[in-house]
Amino acid sequence: MKQALRKMALAAVCVGGVAVTIPVQAANWLMLQGTEPASTAGRAKVWGFIQPEYQQTRGSEIDAGPWTGQRAVFNAMRPDLKADKGFNTIRARVGVRGVGMPIDPKVNYFFLAEFGNNGITQQGGGSVKVTDASVTLNHIPGARIRVGTFKTPGSEEGLQAIHVFDYINFTGATNGLLLERFFNGNGSGTFVSPVAGPGTAADSGDANRPNGSVSAFRDTGVQVFDTFKQGSWEHAYAIMMGNGNGIARGENDDNKETYLYWSSERVYAGSGPRRQGWKMFAWKQSGKRTLSTEGAGEYNRDRAGLGTTYKKGRHRAAFEYITADGMIFNGTDGGAIAGSVSNLPAGAAGKFTGNTDAGGDGQVTASFNVEVEGEADGYYLHYGFAPNPRWEFDVRYDVYNRMTDVSAKERQFKTWTLGTQYFFNRKSRVIVNYEIRNAEAPNLPVSDNANKILSGMDNRFSAQLLIIF
Amino acid sequence: MFTHIAKWSVLLAALVLITGGVQSVFAADKPFAEKKIVLQISDPDPFKQTLVLNVANNLIKEYGTDGVEIEIVAFGPGLRLLFADNANKGRIQGLDANGVGFRGCSNTQKSMAKKLGYVPEMNPVALVEGPGVVRIVKLVTEEGYTLVKP
């Protein structure tokens, strides 16, 4: 560990040494979230945001397989998955940030807690979770040090502040590959006879549910980072080492996650999260995950990506390509809600899932699955047009290829998202999205159950109100 | 001959630097100014830093660079405005170029140095000399300045 930290510090100093430029304040995600403006920040600035929303699909049911006629997980409303439409306060976050001692700008902190109803608070008990708690030391020129729990340097969609996100739902690749769910097992051998009848959600405790909060693109560890200015260009780097266990969760093995990040941005105008500029970035994270139940063992988990963002005048655009190797979240059995009981007789269920029906009554329970050695990739393209400060119109196309290394298991998700934003003022807006969603198993015949199930994926309507305070 | 010219060039450059520095300290001397304003910043609120600079800028816009004498006096928690690394240093430099004077309180600086364990580095355009409040009293009672505390 000590050796690794020494390597990180050395690398940081090297990076700082190569970039013979002037350190600058803020204006990119690393700086906006990890530092405070020098000699102006207060002892404690209270801030936060609230995002109530409404989401709706047509509620099409599963069309084939052991859970035919039951609620499809991809048409259910997040995070409870109990309805096809409804209201939810998806995020309600309150935070404090600043400098402990205002006359010393070299030490600052960032704290944020989640009160909303989502994958952070739904899992692992409790209704409030701390998402960020970090301290940054700004003593070494070119190598600021941030320690604690915070957003990891990586994908633009994950790293950016969620309250300036132009859409309501994440793209398929970001949701599937980067918004990590943590499991104790791979979901392959958790099936036993349920205690209730078909179509019920009488979870017998073996649905391989996540063992706590989603990662929320965060980790606990130490990051060395800084930003340098060269004329109208800004270059930023970050090197991080973390537990690789997301938030609200301690370490469960001795493996450490490493993160690398670089961005270069031509700055056009403005400052803060909506600054105008053209940014290019690349990132990589590597680590291992330890499963303790089904498929117990250690597995590699690697993610990498590169992309660009552009914002100037009325136009915004973005592109990012993401690739993944290992620990691929593979959804649920038969497209059912995890914990749902199948309605097929004995034998057929086992044939479909490859799992045993221990009770012999012909019913099995749908579980979450992880392909520990799978591969996947995906990308998104975004364009936005803001004719005036009140309105913005957005369109996004994203593709997510899951399990690209096993033809029978490959699934392809393609989504067009049409969006509108109306800004009441700089800190409050309403977002309306309509997602045209398609999914298929490209290497299986159309008549295959997998394709029949996926063809039932509905389009989704969402509306969200946002206020930042 | 070349050496002779080089020597004079160095001397001239030094003179320019010195007078430049002096000009910065005494930039508030404007014989044709119609208004004289002293702006007080003594508040820990970060927004007040922006506000006091905005007010100075607006006064210059209204009366013109030569039409108003402005001095910003910082003391107490407000002295952070004149720290060398302050995020507003670009704006301060711009105002200094327009003749706005910046004065810091030496008592506050000493007090901060005790807490920090070192003397905080100050913006080179600022003159840190004497108590800030005494400076304000002098400007208001003896030199006809109007005190504004945004």
User: Environment class of residue A69 by beta-carbon count within 10 Å: exposed (0-12), middle (13-18) or buried (19+)?
Assistant: exposed
Q: What is the CATH number of the domain that holds B107?
A: 3.40.1260.10
State mean pLDDT over A310-331: 97
Instruction: Give A-chain residues touching B88 at CB under 8 angstroms.
Output: 40
Summarize pLDDT for A131-178 with one digit per residue, the tens.
999 999 999 999 999 999 999 999 999 999 998 899 999 999 999 999
Q: Predicted confidence band at A122 (pLDDT cuts at 50, 70, 90)?
A: confident
Q: Which residue has the higher pLDDT, A135 or A361?
A: A135
Cβ of A104 within 8 Å of Cβ of B116? The answer is yes
In order, the DSSP letters of A428-469 are EEEEEEEEEEEEE-TTS-TTSHHHHHHTTPPPEEEEEEEEE-
* A103 to chain B, closest Cα gap in Å: 7
Q: Does pLDDT of A4 surpass 60?
A: no
- Residue A325 counted as domain residue: yes
Q: What is the mean pLDDT of residues A365-392?
A: 96
Residue range B19-47: mean pLDDT, rounded? 72
Provide the β-strand partners of residue A416: A397, A436
pLDDT of residue B4: 54
pLDDT category of residue B8 using cuts at 50, 70 and 90: low
Among A181-195, A437-451, B64-78, whose mean pLDDT is lowest?
A181-195
Assigned token pair, B118: 């070192």
Query: Nearest CB to A40: which of B49, B112, B120?
Result: B49
For residue B117, give the chain A residue with the closest CA. A104
Q: What is the DSSP letter of B17?
A: H
Q: Which residue has the higher pLDDT, B91 or A24?
A: B91
Do the domain assignments include residue A215?
no
Mean pLDDT of B13-41: 62
Amino acid identity of residue A111, one-letter, is F
Question: How far is Cα A268 from Cα A241, in angstroms, rounded to an integer?
Answer: 32
Q: What is the pLDDT of residue A339?
A: 86
Q: How remote is the C-alpha of A371 from its chain's centroid?
A: 18
The tokens of A208 are what? 């391989």
Q: How many angstroms away from the CA of B52 is the closest CA of chain A?
A: 13
Q: Is the pLDDT of residue A295 over 50?
A: yes
Q: What span, in angstroms and rounded, lies between the C-alpha atoms of A277 and A233?
A: 9
B121 touches A: beta carbon within 8 Å:
no
Residue A202: predicted pLDDT: 47
Q: Which chain B residues have a beta carbon less than 8 Å from that of A38? A: 83, 85-87
Residues of chain A whose beta carbon is less than 8 angstroms from a beta carbon of chain B are 25-26, 37-43, 45, 101-105
Instruction: Specify the pLDDT at position A248.
Output: 87
Q: Quote ipTM for the complex.
A: 0.71
Radius of gyration in angstroms for the set of CA atoms belonging to chain A, rounded to a whole number: 23
Q: What is the mean pLDDT of residues A171-186?
A: 96
Range of the domain at B20: 2-148
Region A382-397: mean pLDDT is 97
CATH number at residue A173: 2.40.160
Answer with the residue of higher pLDDT: A86 or A127: A86
Average pLDDT over residues B123-136: 96
Q: Do the chains contact at B45 and A42, CB–CB below 8 Å?
A: yes
Q: Does B120 touch chain A (CB under 8 A)?
A: yes
Q: Tell me the pLDDT band of A251, cut-offs 50, 70 and 90.
A: confident
Contacts of B115 in chain A (CB under 8 A): 101, 103
Domain tally for chain B?
A: 1
Name the residue with tokens 């009140």.
A390
Domain assignment present for A311: yes
Q: What is the pLDDT confidence band of residue A18, given thresholds at 50, 70 and 90?
A: very low
Closest CB to B87: pick one of A38, A42, A43.
A38
Provide mean pLDDT across the span A356-379: 81
Specify the number of domains making up chain A.
Answer: 1
Domain with A69 in it: 19-29+48-93+112-130+161-208+226-236+246-468
Average pLDDT on B108-116 reads: 95
Where is pLDDT greater, at A357 or B45?
B45
